[in-house]
Amino acid sequence: MLRAAENGHVQTARWLYETKGFEIDEEQRPTFIQHALRVGDLEFADLFLPTDGTKWVLLEYDNMRPSPALIEWILDLGYLTWDLHLAGSAIRDLADYGSLSLMQQIFTLHSPLQKDDDRLPEYWMEASLEGDISTLTLTFVTKEQ
């Protein structure tokens, strides 16, 4: 099952897990989550998230190209509330898509922004390249408050 996931065959890994009763150990958990997220199978990733209230860090988030759906899933799990770096990365990635409403939700979690947040120029650059005036306005207004 692990080899299937590691080689990008998440559907095969999922089938083995769901129909054949394969189990994973704690060391394998992050691998399955990462590969499920990489192909956008949020339901499969959900199967491996801790259920005891502990937080699992999305170790390779910055190496992924997360979609707005993935970012919304991470937001719903509460990770963007306690991980400021992850929240900043999510805002950066949402600028690529122009997902203003989702960006606004994340900004409200960490509002007002820290005056010395060094990621703001990166957000502004992404928004400028996309011609996304709403994002530029949101980040400038939030910084000035």
Q: pLDDT tens digits, residue range 50-98?
A: 777 666 655 556 566 788 998 998 898 888 887 777 888 888 888 888 8
State residue 143's pLDDT score: 47
Which ranges of the chain would DSSP assign to H, the alpha helix? 2-6, 10-20, 29-38, 42-48, 68-77, 79-82, 84-97, 100-109, 120-130, 133-144
Measured N-to-C along each axis, helices 10-20 and 29-38 cross at an angle, to the nearest 10 degrees, of 130
Residue 112 confidence (pLDDT) above 70: no
Q: Quick one: pLDDT at residue 120?
A: 66
Band of pLDDT at residue 44, cut at 50, 70 and 90 = confident
Q: What is the pTM of this model?
A: 0.62
**Which one has a higher pLDDT value, 57 or 101?**
101
Give the per-residue pLDDT at 81.
Answer: 83
- Region 121-139: what's the mean pLDDT? 66
> What is the percent of the chain where pLDDT is above 90?
4
pLDDT of residue 93: 86
